């Protein structure tokens, strides 16, 4: 073959390869899932959010009422249910509960006595002002149209429930009676006073609380999610601010009675698993070595075979996105969460679909839905997603349901 023929042959091969690559890319783009998005009804206020969705398409979260107080809320079969409270003004479902046994769990203020130590407790950030502090809080279970509080450890006042499986097990955290010197900022009003421990409740009657072990040397921690194999994920650290940071020194997995440190992305703070599927795959967010106080955080996925791996924020955004947090995972390995710029001004709901880099869910909306999807908090095995959207004209925050269509 002559040199000219060789060059022509090479050029033809490259042209065919480019065409094939382009066709493959076009086909992949054409097959991208699209979502029909709809707003979920509210209790009359200007803020609501979906934080959990199970395989029955039950969405749970919160809705603000006209008086600004938030109530835990359930959306099912196009119907809105106000789950009420344990007597105080506020309640909320804050994590992805996941079970299909008709059980919802969350947090609620009580009306028994004022918080005796003046603690804000870690639920204050999930309520609306002005009634977000000053009350004792308990983790709650809602089933058969009734809400009940879960017990704390002896000597403790406050609790927090995050997840429930189909075996009658609920996880979260609760105080005991130990005055913990590692609690931060003793001079600050509302600072944490008592130690709190990761908890697992077996539902009764009576409901019974069980202490989960911490990493040796740690004093406080929290459980955040559980699957039907009894695997539990959460955090282990010191009391600190009681909302993360050094309380989340270690991201951990509890199974078979033991606790395992699942690693970090270079920092010993803010390492927080948020969800676990039935395969034992874990997602969450981890701290940055350069930023002890918080943002940016970095989404991660952990598997037993591959360990911990970062999930990147969106590319090509202006301002640049540097923060990513993963909140939900299904059995197919689809992960949802949020991607934000450094100032948390531009935040977008995202999906990591078997990749390191996410897709902006706003790019996958079917025509006709104008609100911006600001966060994606959970995804079920049908691929349905819930989270919070913001109306660009009014600023109203709304719970939404995104249903995949081809």
| Other CB atoms within 10 A of residue 364 CB | 18
Q: What's the pLDDT at 185?
A: 86
**163-187: average pLDDT:** 95
C-alpha distance from residue 258 to each of 212, 215, 253, 279, 284 (Å):
8, 10, 8, 18, 21
- Does residue 33 have a pLDDT over 50? yes
Share above pLDDT 90 across residues of the chain, in percent, rounded to a whole number = 86
- Say which residue, 320 or 28, is predicted with more confidence: 320
- Does residue 31 have a pLDDT over 80? no
3-state secondary structure 333-377: CEEEEEEEECCCCCEEEEEEECCCCCEEHHHHECCCCCCEEEEEE
Q: What's the pLDDT at 10?
A: 47
Q: What's the pLDDT at 216?
A: 98
Give the range among 106-115, 245-254, 330-339 with minimum mean pLDDT.
106-115
Q: What's the pLDDT at 187?
A: 77
HSE-up of residue 55 (Cα within 13 Å, Cβ side) = 10
Report pLDDT digits (tens) over 96-134: 999 999 999 999 999 978 999 999 999 999 998 999 999
**Domains, the chain:** 36-405 (2.130.10)
Q: How deeply is 396 buried, as exposed, middle or buried, from its count of CB atoms within 10 A (0-12, 13-18, 19+)?
A: middle
**301-327: average pLDDT:** 97
Report pLDDT digits (tens) over 216-237: 999 999 999 999 999 999 999 9
Q: What's the pLDDT at 157?
A: 97
- Say which residue, 187 or 367, is predicted with more confidence: 367
> Whose structure tokens read 């203020």?
109
Report pLDDT digits (tens) over 351-389: 999 888 999 999 999 999 999 999 999 999 999 999 999
Report pLDDT digits (tens) over 268-278: 999 999 999 99
Q: 87 has which bridge partners?
A: 110
Q: What's the pLDDT at 78?
A: 83
- Does residue 13 have a pLDDT over 70? no
Specify whether the CB–CB gap between 324 and 338 falls below 8 A: yes
Specify whether the CB–CB gap between 266 and 290 falls below 8 A: no
Average pLDDT score, the chain: 92
pLDDT band at 29 (very low <50, low <70, confident <90, very high): very low
pTM above 0.75, yes or no: yes
Share above pLDDT 70 across residues of the chain, in percent, rounded to a whole number = 92
- Does residue 7 have a pLDDT over 90? no
Specify whether the CB–CB gap between 227 and 238 falls below 8 A: no
pLDDT band at 19 (very low <50, low <70, confident <90, very high): very low
pLDDT band at 243 (very low <50, low <70, confident <90, very high): confident
In terms of DSSP bridges, do strands 334-341 and 347-353 run parallel, antiparallel, or are they unpaired? Answer: antiparallel
- Does residue 4 have a pLDDT over 60? no
Q: What is the CA radius of gyration of the chain?
A: 23
């Amino acid at each position: 073959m002559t040199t000219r023929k060789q060059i022509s042959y090479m050029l033809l091969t490259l042209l065919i390869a480019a065409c094939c690559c382009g066709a493959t890319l076009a086909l992949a783009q054409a097959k991208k899932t699209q979502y029909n998005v709809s707003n979920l009804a509210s209790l009359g206020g200007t803020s609501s959010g979906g934080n959990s969705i199970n395989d029955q398409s039950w969405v749970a979260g919160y809705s603000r009422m006209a008086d600004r107080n938030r109530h835990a809320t359930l959306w099912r079969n196009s119907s809105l249910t106000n789950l009420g409270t344990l007597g105080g003004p506020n309640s909320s479902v804050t994590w992805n509960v996941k079970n299909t046994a008709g059980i919802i769990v969350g947090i609620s203020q009580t009306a028994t006595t004022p918080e005796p130590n003046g603690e804000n407790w870690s639920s204050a950030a999930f309520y609306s002002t002005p009634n977000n502090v000053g009350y004792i809080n308990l983790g709650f279970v809602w089933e058969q149209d009734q809400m009940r509080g879960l017990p704390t450890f002896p000597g403790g006042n406050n609790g927090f429930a995050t997840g429930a499986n189909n075996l009658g097990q609920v996880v979260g955290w609760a105080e005991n009676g130990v005055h913990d010197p590692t609690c931060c900022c003793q001079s600050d009003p509302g600072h944490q006073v008592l130690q709190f421990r990761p908890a697992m409740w077996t539902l009764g009657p009576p409901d019974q609380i069980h202490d989960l072990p911490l990493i040796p040397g740690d004093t406080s921690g929290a459980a955040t999610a559980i699957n039907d194999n009894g695997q539990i994920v959460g955090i282990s650290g010191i009391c600190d601010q009681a909302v993360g940071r050094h309380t989340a020194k270690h991201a951990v997995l509890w199974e078979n009675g033991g606790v395992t440190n699942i690693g970090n992305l270079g920092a010993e703070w803010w390492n927080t698993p948020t969800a676990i599927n039935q395969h034992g795959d874990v997602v969450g967010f981890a701290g940055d070595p350069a930023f002890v106080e918080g943002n940016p955080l970095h989404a991660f996925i952990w598997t037993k075979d591959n360990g911990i791996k970062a999930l990147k924020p969106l590319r090509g955004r202006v301002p640049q996105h540097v923060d990513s947090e993963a909140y939900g995972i299904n059995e197919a390995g689809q992960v949802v969460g949020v991607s934000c710029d450094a100032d948390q001004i531009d935040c977008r709901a995202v999906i990591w679909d078997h990749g390191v880099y996410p897709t902006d869910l706003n790019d996958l909306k079917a025509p006709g839905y104008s609100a911006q999807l600001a966060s994606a908090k959970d995804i079920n095995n049908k691929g349905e997603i819930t989270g919070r959207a913001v109306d660009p004209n009014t600023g109203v925050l709304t719970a939404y349901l995104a249903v995949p269509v081809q």
